[in-house]
């Protein structure tokens, strides 16, 4: 099984599927279709039915039930796109077998390594297989590891018809990384009673809580005057941008928060004296704290306009997704199914809130309850990203055990 997972994963990560947060199309980049059509072909070869890539780039397929028993239809989803944070072009994966517990040289020319001091969890994987990129791109384990795991599970079921199962639905989505992954996803057509996103991190992660999320874009109109004659006339948009940022609580930044603590995260700052723009993401698990954060940044902008006695700043706040806990709690048995499956295959469940979001968060509000399970990846969205092959194998085993147990107990 490990060889099958590895071969798939190495193939998928070399297909560039980076999404674009500034695009107005859906999917945001046409190149995501390259992987979509590859998966379509592979799903057909595996014998799945109703395999389709629609105009939006959604890949869907069905593994029909092989029993007369009435069993709920279970879905498994992963996303095809990789994050805009770092290039996904020309990914050159590296496989480090039988990891020895020391620093892993990702790129000796650039002096980039996975340092045990900086990433002490590496010690958990001594003797296992670590996969990295070259230090020049991200790896793409988020979420091509999840895709490889779902595909391998479907392949295994096809080769083992003695394993009884109900109808299984599979979907691979575009644009998750830019918060649009299920904008056009047809939950009713998909036809699952409940589902799991395979989009978590290290082995054991099981999540049914996530951030409430919003984006904020602040535009600042300054006034550029020759600096020699600027007294009482110039309004420097760059300085106002830094003033706004300093007015946000300094202890509510991503690098200073953990667990259930929310944050304001500045993601982009562009500007000249004449005009500037700041972009933030706003996150909190607690709905009331989330609303307060949005109001807080709105009040900052209004206070700047009041200070300068003119409308030089404007803000656009958009909600992106909400905490799925509200929708999962009434059907907690699906979380218990995943938890039990992990225990049975020798994985210790680590139930924790997602400090981010998944397609499953929005799907849960669209009527498809959808907790999240681990893929075996670490350090997503950057050059230090890596995946652990043995953890990926365990993820496949968890998927299979969820399916097997459902056929026995439902």
Contact criterion met (CB below 8 Å) for 231 and 223:
no
What is the length of the chain?
A: 410
Cis amide bond preceding 143, omega within 30: yes
Is residue 81 part of the annotated active site? The answer reads yes
Q: Which candidate in 16, 81, 175, 199 is catalytic?
A: 81
* Neighbour tally for 395: CB within 10 Å: 30
| Assessment of whether the complete model's pTM goes beyond 0.75 | yes
Task: Using alpha carbons only, give the angle 170, 176, 180 rounded to the nearest 5 degrees.
Answer: 110
How confident is the model at residue 344, as a pLDDT? 98
| Cα–chain center distance at 291 | 23
Residue position matching structure tokens 């072909």: 41
pLDDT by residue, tens only, the chain of 410 residues: 899 999 999 999 999 999 998 899 999 999 999 999 999 999 999 999 999 999 999 999 999 999 999 999 999 999 999 999 999 999 999 999 999 999 999 999 999 999 999 999 999 999 999 999 999 999 999 999 999 999 999 999 999 999 999 999 999 999 999 989 999 999 999 999 999 999 999 999 999 999 999 999 999 999 999 999 999 999 999 999 999 999 999 999 999 999 999 999 999 999 999 999 999 999 999 999 999 999 999 999 999 999 998 899 999 999 988 999 999 999 999 999 999 999 999 999 999 898 888 899 999 999 999 999 999 999 999 999 999 999 999 999 999 999 999 988 66
Which domains are seen in the chain, by residue range? 2-210+323-409 (3.40.630.10), 212-321 (3.30.70.360)
**326 belongs to the catalytic site:** no
Are the CB atoms for 187 and 77 separated by under 8 Å? no
Q: Which of the following is catalytic: 40, 176, 177, 359? A: 176
Tokens 């397609």 sit on residue: 359
pLDDT at 21: 87
């Amino acid at each position: 099984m490990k060889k099958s997972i590895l071969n798939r994963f190495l193939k998928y990560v070399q297909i560039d599927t980076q999404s674009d947060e500034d695009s107005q199309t859906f999917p945001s980049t046409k190149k995501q279709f390259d992987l979509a059509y590859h998966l379509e072909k592979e799903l057909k070869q595996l014998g799945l039915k109703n395999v389709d890539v629609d105009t939006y780039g959604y890949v869907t397929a069905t593994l029909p039930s092989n029993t007369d028993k009435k069993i709920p239809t279970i879905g498994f989803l992963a996303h095809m796109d990789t994050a805009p944070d770092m290039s996904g072009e020309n990914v050159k994966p590296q496989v480090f077998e039988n990891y020895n517990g020391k620093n892993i040289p990702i790129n000796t020319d650039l002096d980039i390594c996975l340092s045990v001091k900086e990433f002490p969890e590496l010690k958990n994987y001594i003797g296992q297989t670590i996969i990295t990129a070259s230090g020049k791109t991200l790896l793409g384990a988020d979420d091509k590891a999840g895709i490889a795991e779902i595909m391998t599970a479907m392949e295994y079921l096809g080769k083992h018809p003695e394993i009884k199962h109900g109808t299984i639905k599979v979907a691979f989505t575009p644009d998750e990384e830019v918060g649009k992954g299920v904008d056009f996803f047809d939950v009713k057509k998909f036809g699952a009673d409940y589902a799991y996103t395979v989009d978590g991190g290290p082995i054991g992660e099981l999540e049914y809580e996530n951030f409430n999320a919003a984006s904020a874009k602040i535009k600042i109109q300054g006034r550029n005057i020759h600096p020699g004659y600027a007294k009482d006339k110039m309004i420097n948009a760059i300085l106002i941008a830094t003033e706004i940022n300093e007015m946000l609580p300094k202890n509510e930044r991503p690098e200073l928060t953990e667990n259930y603590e929310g944050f304001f995260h500045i993601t982009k700052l562009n500007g000249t004296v004449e005009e500037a723009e700041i972009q933030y993401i706003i996150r909190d698990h607690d709905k009331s704290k989330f609303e307060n954060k949005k109001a807080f940044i709105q009040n900052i902008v209004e206070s700047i306009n009041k200070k300068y006695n003119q409308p030089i700043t404007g803000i656009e706040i958009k909600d992106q997704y909400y905490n799925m806990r509200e929708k999962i709690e009434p059907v907690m048995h699906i979380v218990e199914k995943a938890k039990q499956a992990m225990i049975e295959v020798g994985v210790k469940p680590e139930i924790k809130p997602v400090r981010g979001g998944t397609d499953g968060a929005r799907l849960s509000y669209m009527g498809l309850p959808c907790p999240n399970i681990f893929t075996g990846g670490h350090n997503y969205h950057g050059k230090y990203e890596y995946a652990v092959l043995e953890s990926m194998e365990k993820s496949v085993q968890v998927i299979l055990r969820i399916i097997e147990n459902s056929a026995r107990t439902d």
